[in-house]
Amino acid sequence: MKAFKVWNNGGYIQIAIGDKVTVFRSGGGRSTFGEPGALTRATKQHLVFTTESGAEVKTPIDNISHTVGKAKASRYCVTLRPFEDFGYMIKENVRYWNNKTLEFDKK
């Protein structure tokens, strides 16, 4: 398996294809919404994480503390902490707002 050395909240860690993550966003107050995912592939510039619902979330290849593209606009984050460790997180599919159709896209 190919491993990547990435910055994660204050330090470098190793992450490999197939490693489990949690993709989430914060709601109003103390609410958080998210779902489990895994690192599925890497491009020259990005790490691509795929969630259980099939949504793709991209981060820079050297820093998983930040997301890019639609995930950044929708304020999603990626953490290496397993989904099961979040006792207070509401399970919700990752979704993005589409300004053209005025509906949520689940891509």
Give the domain range for residue 64.
Answer: 3-105
Please state the domain count of the chain: 1
- Express each pLDDT in 50-91 by its tens digit: 999 999 999 999 999 899 998 998 899 999 999 999 888 999
Concatenating the DSSP letter of every residue in 81-93 gives S-GGG-TTPEE--
| Distance (Å) of CA 18 to CA 83, 89, 92 | 15, 22, 21
Residues forming a β-bridge with 105:
96
Mean predicted confidence (pLDDT) in 5-19 = 91
Confidence bin at 97 (pLDDT 50/70/90): confident
Q: What is the mean pLDDT of the chain?
A: 90
The helix (run of H) or strand (run of E) holding residue 20 is strand 20-26
